[in-house]
Amino acid sequence: MPKIVDPEQRRRVVADAVHAVVARDGLQAATLSQVADEAGLAVGSVRHYFTDHEELMIFAVRELGRRVGERVWAHAERLLSDSDGSRADRRRRTEELLAEFLPLDDLRRDEMLLRHTFATAARTRPSLLIHAEALQSTLDELVQRTLQGAQATGGLPADLDVEVESVRLRALLDGLGLQAVLFPRRFPPDLLRQVLRRHLDSLVATPHRAAGL
Query: Does residue 1 have a pLDDT over 60?
Result: no
Which domains are assigned to the chain? 1-50 (1.10.10.60), 59-202 (1.10.357.10)
Amino acid, single-letter form, for residue 118 = F
Q: What is the mean pLDDT of residues 94-112?
A: 93
Which tens digit of pLDDT belongs to each residue from 124-181?
A: 999 999 999 998 898 899 999 999 988 888 888 999 999 999 999 999 999 999 999 9
Instruction: Give the global pTM.
Output: 0.84
Which of 171-180, 192-201, 203-212 comes out lowest in average pLDDT?
203-212
Q: Considering Cα of 102, then 173, then 176, then 155, what sign does the dihedral take?
A: negative
Q: What is the pLDDT of residue 81?
A: 72
